[in-house]
Amino acid sequence: MIQHHPPGIRFHHSLSSVAHRLMDALIIVLGLWSCVEILGVSWSSHYAAVALLATVLFMVGAESTDLYHFWRQMPVLYVWALVGVGLLIVGYATKSTSDFSRLAMSLWAVGTPLGLIGYRLALRKLLSFLHMRGFSMQTVAIGGANAHGCQFAQYLQRNPALGLRLLGFFDDREPGYGDDRLPSNLPAPLLGSFQDLVEYAYSGRIDVVYILLPLKAQDRIAQLIQRLADAPVAVYLVPDFFVFDLLHAQWINIGNMPTISIFETPLSGVNGLAKRVEDVVLSMLILVLIAAPMVVIALAVKRSSPGPVLFKQTRYGLDGRKINIWKFRTMTVCEDGNQVVQAQRNDRRVTPLGAFLRRTSLDELPQFFNVLMGQMSIVGPRPHAVAHNEQYRKLIPGYMLRHKVKPGITGWAQINGWRGETEVIEKMQKRVEYDLWYIRHWSLRVDLQIVAYTALRVLWDREAY
């Protein structure tokens, strides 16, 4: 039986990714060793352990931010900052901070991200320099002048370091307007029909063909592939899966069978571990800072009105499983049944102290304990009342996809103003839209940005009451 293996460029890409990881590891380890040697400090097993731990933490963070899939420098700083926080926590937990030279560690903390970013910039400049002079350049053509093809072409043009020079488009349709015509503003010239593409391929004028026809054009795709079978070119099919409403789509190999996930959580494997570490570390730090204010709030709630200090609510958590979350009580009644009336402006059920707590989001501080328990995350879609979930899941397509991640104390929808009462369905639709955007684009960097914006936009929000 013939074994079909992935094309060589995939293997080359894999080797490239391994090389980047090895280079990052060398910069981290040799950077610490250099700082220690320059200052005349004795290298010990303690420094070796720190270098190893920092490398592991950096690799985990790099995977969660797709650092090795895109030419971006900012995630390097975010990941390295998280590495620093992790090392400090381990150092204080093991009471070993005194075993290290503060000057050496400081130089290493500053120098390493400069080395990591500098290496990336230098490599990118070198590749661009070589490609501009024709070294290792490949001439490519796109079969399919549609919106998907235009997006692909623009990506190639924005990334010359890929070494792919776009010659143009080929399509059997004629230029014009309308749904069945070609776009009027192609980013590269239209060079002819698919027959012309075949002739270009056989004449050696192109090296690579990317076919970007819609999935419904299966017969045309099969015919074009068959006609290119004997041409001296590499042929790639770029399927337009984006006709579906994908949620964190990714390729997964099951045996020798490639599959694509349609609805998937971004927080599986390494990403899930990174998210959990982020939640635990930030929650512990925040709880230390808010311990005294929480005691004051608890006493104030107890004295301001009769009833419990904390209010337990049932919500849907990860994968739609029910969880109990905690809040400081802000009302004279505690509703959490099959029918829940949302708080409204000037709601008589809200106590004067409760109005202040809700406006400043201080009523949600106990939920950091939910985060430590693993029921919630610091950042994620806000949990809705069970009654509201049952109502809106029937009205809004994709509503329950919010539960592909844990509910959060704050989220992308909240910092963009979509919080408070949802008296019309359009408001809930926008909230869900922003929640799904967060799931599709999740990264540690996005989480940290949301946490930072929360302090500015959510702690005093007129939409909360």
> How many other β-carbons are positioned within 10 Å of the β-carbon of residue 126?
11
Residue of 148, 195, 197, 202 lying closest to 168 (CA atoms) = 197
List domains and CATH numbers for the chain. 8-132 (no CATH), 138-243 (3.40.50.720), 270-457 (no CATH)
284 residue type, one letter: M
Gap between the Cα atoms of 12 and 5, Å rounded: 13
Per-residue pLDDT 10s for the chain (465 aa) are: 333 333 333 334 455 677 888 999 999 999 999 999 999 888 988 999 999 999 999 988 887 666 766 555 567 888 898 899 889 888 888 888 888 999 999 999 999 999 999 988 888 788 777 766 666 678 999 999 988 889 899 988 887 777 888 999 999 876 655 545 567 788 899 999 999 999 999 998 999 999 999 878 889 999 999 999 888 888 998 877 655 666 666 666 666 676 777 777 788 777 888 899 889 989 999 999 999 999 999 999 988 888 888 988 899 999 889 999 999 988 875 555 454 555 555 566 788 888 888 888 888 899 999 999 999 999 999 998 888 888 888 888 888 889 889 999 999 998 888 776 667 788 888 999 999 999 988 888 899 899 988 877 655 555 544
Report the 10 Å Cβ neighbour count for 157: 14
